[in-house]
């Protein structure tokens, strides 16, 4: 089906209410599998370069591990194809429904989990990485290929956004805001290629080990209402890419 023939996605009042209450919502098949294969060509090239750089310095940097999980960030800022993709009507509809008419791109990164990688990515709130106001902002987790319990789909803890920012402890593989030993390990959220999992930056989430023989690929895109500030010093974050103004593509 061509892009022009697709119905425009609309976010209902019920979906917004569920997002407010549970902290996440799954929008299935926002994009087609073919569209994800096309996007993957652009994203893979950035990830490949990043992995090569990583390998040249011993395989690890920050929370990326070449043989386990890689985070490749700021792709839209370097790639016109990806920037144009993020201004498609589907993103405008989703982001303005949750954030209002004036939306900026806060952060974008691929998260690729390598085959047979046995570690989970720990429970955290995205706000723990860099606290900002107004909180929460919106994370839209796009499945580039099918994310399943076997290959390391994400899990969320429903309602966890309602208690504000929790204390997080550092670990070699990222901030940890909730223990994987707790009895309540939330809900697994599988997502077919082209589906979007929306959650607030205060919603606790993690992803499982990849026990499959293929790479699990996600594009994690975070949006904010125009005018985001760092909590520290109340400093305006300048230079963010505008996505929507007055509800229209910027
Ligand atoms: O996609 C994943 O495996 C986890 C990504 C994540 O939690 C994040 O980017 O905040």
- Is residue 175 included in any domain, yes or no? yes
> 5: CA distance to ligand 1 center in Å?
32
User: Which amino acid residue places its CA nearest to atom 4 of ligand 1?
Assistant: 207
* Ligand 1, atom nearest to 141 Cα: 1
Domain at 205, CATH number:
2.60.120.620
pLDDT higher than threshold 60 for residue 177: yes
- Is residue 22 included in any domain, yes or no? yes
- Is residue 12 included in any domain, yes or no? no
- CB of residue 31 inside a 6 A radius of ligand 1: no
- CB of residue 111 inside a 6 A radius of ligand 1: yes
pTM exceeding the 0.75 threshold for the entire prediction: yes
Angle among Cα 229, 232, 237 to the nearest 5 degrees reads: 30
Tell me the C-alpha distance between 48 and 217, whole Å: 13
- CB of residue 160 inside a 6 A radius of ligand 1: no
Q: Residue 167 gets which letter from DSSP?
A: P
- Is residue 185 included in any domain, yes or no? yes
- Is residue 4 included in any domain, yes or no? no
Give the structural domain span for 86. Answer: 18-249
Among candidate residues 119, 248, 126, the one with its CA nearest the CA of residue 197? 126
Q: How many CB atoms lie under 10 A from the CB of residue 77?
A: 13
What would the pLDDT profile of 115-163 be if each residue is shown by its tens digit? Answer: 988 899 999 999 999 999 999 999 999 999 999 999 999 999 999 999 9
Tokens (6 digits) for 33 = 């599998």
- CB of residue 135 inside a 6 A radius of ligand 1: no
Q: How many CB atoms lie under 10 A from the CB of residue 101?
A: 14
Region 27-31 average pLDDT: 97
User: Which amino acid residue places its CA nearest to atom 7 of ligand 1?
Assistant: 206
User: Which amino acid residue places its CA nearest to atom 10 of ligand 1?
Assistant: 126
pLDDT, position 175: 96
Tokens (6 digits) for 126 = 């995205």
* DSSP element (H, E) containing 33: helix 33-56
> 89: CA distance to ligand 1 center in Å?
24
Tell me the C-alpha distance between 47 and 146, whole Å: 18
How confident is residue 48, by pLDDT bands cut at 50, 70 and 90?
A: very high
Among candidate residues 148, 146, 151, the one with its CA nearest the CA of residue 194? 146
- CB of residue 126 inside a 6 A radius of ligand 1: yes
- Is residue 13 included in any domain, yes or no? no
How confident is residue 8, by pLDDT bands cut at 50, 70 and 90?
A: confident
> 2: CA distance to ligand 1 center in Å?
30
Per the DSSP assignment, residues forming a β-bridge with 219 are 110, 142
Q: What is the dihedral of CA 71, 135, 246, 249, to 10 degrees?
A: 10
Tell me the C-alpha distance between 198 and 22, whole Å: 11
Tell me the C-alpha distance between 127 and 168, whole Å: 10
Tokens (6 digits) for 13 = 């009042």
- Is residue 204 included in any domain, yes or no? yes
> 207: CA distance to ligand 1 center in Å?
6
Number of folded domains in the chain? 1
- Is residue 201 included in any domain, yes or no? yes
User: Which amino acid residue places its CA nearest to atom 9 of ligand 1?
Assistant: 220
User: Which amino acid residue places its CA nearest to atom 1 of ligand 1?
Assistant: 111
Whose tokens are 């993020």? That residue is: 86
């Amino acid at each position: 089906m061509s892009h022009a023939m697709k119905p425009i996605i609309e976010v209902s009042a019920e979906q917004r209410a569920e997002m407010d209450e549970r902290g996440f919502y799954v929008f299935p098949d926002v994009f087609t599998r073919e569209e994800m294969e096309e996007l993957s060509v652009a994203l893979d090239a950035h990830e490949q370069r990043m992995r090569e750089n990583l390998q040249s310095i011993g395989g690890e940097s920050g929370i990326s591990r070449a043989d386990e999980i890689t985070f490749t960030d700021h792709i839209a800022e370097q790639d016109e194809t990806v920037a144009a993709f993020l201004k498609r009507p589907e993103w405008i509809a989703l982001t303005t429904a949750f954030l209002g008419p004036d939306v900026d791109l806060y952060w974008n990164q691929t998260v690729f989990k390598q085959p047979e990688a046995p570690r989970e990515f720990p429970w955290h709130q995205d706000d723990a990485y860099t606290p900002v106001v107004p909180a929460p902002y919106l994370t839209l987790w796009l499945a580039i290929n099918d994310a399943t319990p076997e290959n390391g789909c994400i899990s969320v803890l429903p309602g966890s956004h309602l208690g504000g920012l929790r204390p997080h402890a550092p670990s070699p593989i990222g901030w940890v805001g909730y223990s994987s030993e707790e009895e309540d390990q939330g809900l697994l959220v599988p997502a077919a290629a082209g589906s979007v999992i929306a959650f607030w930056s205060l919603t606790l989430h993690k992803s499982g080990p990849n026990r499959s023989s293929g790479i699990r690929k996600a594009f994690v895109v975070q949006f904010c209402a125009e005018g985001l500030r760092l909590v520290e010093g109340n400093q305006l974050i300048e230079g963010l890419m505008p996505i929507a103004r007055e509800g229209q593509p910027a």
